[in-house]
Chain A
Amino acid sequence: MDKETFLKSGLIEQYVLGIASEEEAKLVEQFADQHPVIQQEIDSLREGLEQYAKQYAIDPPDGLKGRIMEEIDGLDQAASNMVAQQLSNSQTQRTRSNFWALITSAAALIGLALAFSFYQQRNNAQDQLAAAQAELAMVQEQCSKDKAAFQQTQQTLAFLNSKQTLPVNLKGSTLAPEAVAVVYWNSQEKKALFNGLNLPELPADKTYQIWADVEGEMINMGVLDRTNPNLQEVAFIDHAESLNITVEPKGGSEHPTVELLYLNGYI
């Protein structure tokens, strides 16, 4: 390949970017040795790239320098200790066999130290991995909880927005003129959700209970939890004409106490 073809081959650019293969890099270096023009080309392209890279310069956090210098000091300390030990070992040698025994034990010691350090490193790595996995599991669990809650909310919203869902407004009787509640009634899905907007507080031994009136007969739809801030699902009763809420002893009754009718509304 001649100089001009080489300049156009794209190899120089790959070399400068560090993506040339080993053989390609060798080839580029050979050409650069023979042709100063190519060396110049490499230098100037590399300079541009490095100046570009320097644009991203950002000061590392304070204290990192100290940490790094300490680390380097530590490396040095370890190295010089080893040299010192080897020196003193060789000085105390008396006989040939003694010398070899020392060398062998030093090697064994170094081997042990290395093994221990690998062991520790492995333990550290395992700890880190375990911590990361635990964290990941936590995040995943939270995520699936949130997802379930979200789906629940979406379902409720879809139910409320459905054309088949009818809001039944329940108004307070003379016993509780301020009381207001809504039951979302869907006869297609046979599902009813209760929302107690404003129900007067009751003594601890009393509870609200809701009933469906079907051709004059009151059918139990469930005991209501006044403190529940969410929509509460109650039994859906076919052919209900009106919905009625009475006050009953705690736990609910089999038949409504009609004298204590607090709210009602027609479907």
Chain B
Amino acid sequence: MAQSIEEHIIQLLQQNDKKAMGLLYDHYAASLYGIILKVVQSETIAQDVLQDAFIKIWQNGDKYDRSKGKLFTWLLNIARNLAIDKTRSANFRQKRKIQSLDELVITQKGPSVENKPEHIGLGSVIAKLEEKYRIIIDLIYFQGYTQKEVEEHLGIPLGTVKSRVRIALRELRKTFEEHNVTLLLLVMQLLNEHSVLALDLITGIYG
């Protein structure tokens, strides 16, 4: 099987080849931008943070250690950390206040899946995650709260916060595992009918 795009990018990145950045942008910018936007809740700030993230990725490309996790995990953590740092910077709140007067922010909107064909069929995931779990994941993962801060913010006991964190992560895993099974069944069904098409689909997903 041909080298996966992730492998290819890692190789280019380690060779300090700038082509890596173009490919990274094409494959990951939408995901990273969406996450950053979710954190900073302003399009102009999100664009700055995305730019900072790509520069950091480029400058630290040789530090990526694949034994510690997937490429996307590494990228996502860089973007997310920069975004959360931004929300804690001194003039962020003031800037946000002024901007919110003339900039309509799309933050309260749910996740957009319509323009990402690979996510077809996943749109219901968030709907499936109960509100009380979703809030906790959003506060901790996207707003950088500690569990203690969640306790204070939501006024629920720390023990409850911790158990909800555990349940939330398990629920998310379950949902995506179910999704993978559905995909597998789909592939098998396709194999019976159109073997060529199915092969395309497999390389599309796992290639």
Enumerate chain A interface residues (CB-CB to B < 8 A): 10, 13-14, 16-19, 44-61, 64-65, 67-69, 71-73, 75-76, 128-129, 132, 135-136, 139
Is there contact, CB below 8 Å, between B29 and A49? no
Contact of A64 (CB < 8 Å), options: B38, B51, B169: B51
In addition to A44-B177, A49-B137, 20 A-B residue pairs with Cβ atoms within 8 Å of each other are: A16-B169, A17-B137, A45-B173, A47-B173, A50-B76, A51-B172, A51-B176, A52-B125, A53-B141, A54-B34, A55-B111, A55-B125, A57-B115, A60-B29, A64-B50, A64-B51, A65-B29, A68-B50, A132-B95, A136-B98
Contact of B51 (CB < 8 Å), options: A58, A71, A136: A71
Is there contact, CB below 8 Å, between A18 and B73? no
Per the bound structure, the CA–CA distance linking A10 and B168 in Å amounts to 12
Q: Is B21 an interface residue (CB 8 A)?
A: yes
Is there contact, CB below 8 Å, between B51 and A52? no
Q: Is B55 an interface residue (CB 8 A)?
A: yes
Per the bound structure, the CA–CA distance linking A71 and B72 in Å amounts to 22
The 5 A-B residue pairs whose C-beta atoms are closest, nearest first, are A48-B173, A48-B172, A55-B111, A56-B34, A57-B34
Q: With A57-B34, A71-B55, A75-B59 known to touch, is A52 a contact of B126 (CB < 8 Å)?
A: yes
Is there contact, CB below 8 Å, between B21 and A60? no
Which residues, 78 to 130 on B, are CB-close (under 8 Å) to A?
80-81, 91, 94-95, 97-98, 101, 111-113, 115-116, 119, 122-123, 125-126, 129
Closest A residue, CB atoms, query B171: A48
B153: min CB distance to chain A, Å? 14
Closest B residue, CB atoms, query A63: B47
Is there contact, CB below 8 Å, between A57 and B112? yes
Per the bound structure, the CA–CA distance linking A57 and B123 in Å amounts to 12
Closest B residue, CB atoms, query A59: B30
List chain A residues, Cβ under 8 A from B58.
72, 75
Q: With A17-B165, A132-B94 known to touch, is A51 a contact of B125 (CB < 8 Å)?
A: yes
Which residues, 22 to 38 on B, are CB-close (under 8 Å) to A?
22, 25, 29-31, 33-35, 37-38
List chain B residues, Cβ under 8 A from A14.
147, 165
Is there contact, CB below 8 Å, between B122 and A55? yes
Is there contact, CB below 8 Å, between A10 and B165? yes
Is there contact, CB below 8 Å, between B116 and A10? no
B76: min CB distance to chain A, Å? 6
Q: Is B194 an interface residue (CB 8 A)?
A: no
Is there contact, CB below 8 Å, between A72 and B172? no
Q: Is B69 an interface residue (CB 8 A)?
A: yes
